[in-house]
């Protein structure tokens, strides 16, 4: 089965760097307004990983600036996520339609790759926010490249 067999129209997956301290929060808010805003319609859905960085910032932005359906995907459980990520999830609990805990016992690279594939397989397109610079081997680029292999559109916005 190809990943696009699972995807529904209007569903986006968000992936991005955990390293966001080099920019002001207002910079990310403006960025999300430009690059998430057009996709954040009332009938849209977003899959977001439950980590810090872009995951938490995009969750907070979508919860506060759209009526889109939000699903948070954790590779293990939400309780295993860093405190900052758990706080963002708690803060947006009333706007999160679904929390998906994939149940990985160990939060190592295979668990994150499984989470990333889960989101891409269910998304119609992927919006990626990699750290500025050359393409690397980060989880963000792994997710973007997996989407490419699935033939899914990608919007890549370096941060």
Query: pTM for the whole thing?
Result: 0.91
- pLDDT tens-digit readout, 96-138: 999 999 999 888 989 999 999 999 999 999 999 998 887 877 8
Q: Which two tokens stand for residue 145?
A: 């490249």
First to last CA, the chain: 33
Beta bridge partners of 74: 101
* Domain ranges across the chain: 3-156
2-19 pLDDT, tens digit each? 444 555 558 999 999 999
For 3-156, the fitting CATH number among 3.10.310.10, 3.40.50.450, 3.40.50.2000, 3.40.1670.10 is 3.40.50.450
The CA radius of gyration of the chain, in Å to the nearest whole number, is 14
Q: Which residues contact 63 (CB under 8 A, 6 or more apart)?
A: 70, 91, 92, 95, 96
CA distance 141 to 78: 23
């Amino acid at each position: 089965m190809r990943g696009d067999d699972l995807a529904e129209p209007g569903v986006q997956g968000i992936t991005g760097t955990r390293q966001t301290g080099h920019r002001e929060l207002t910079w990310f808010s403006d960025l999300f307004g430009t690059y998430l805003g057009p996709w954040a319609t009332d009938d849209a859905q977003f899959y977001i990983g439950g980590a810090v960085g872009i995951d938490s910032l995009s969750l907070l932005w979508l919860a506060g600036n759209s009526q889109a359906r939000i699903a948070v995907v954790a590779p293990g459980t939400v309780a295993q996520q860093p405190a900052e990520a758990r706080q963002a999830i708690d803060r947006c609990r009333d706007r999160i339609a679904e929390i998906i805990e994939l149940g990985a016992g160990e939060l190592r690279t295979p668990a994150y790759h499984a989470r990333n594939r889960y989101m891409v397989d269910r998304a119609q397109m992927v919006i990626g926010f990699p750290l500025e610079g050359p393409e690397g081997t980060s989880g963000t680029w792994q997710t973007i490249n997996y989407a490419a292999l699935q033939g899914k559109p990608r919007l890549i916005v370096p941060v």
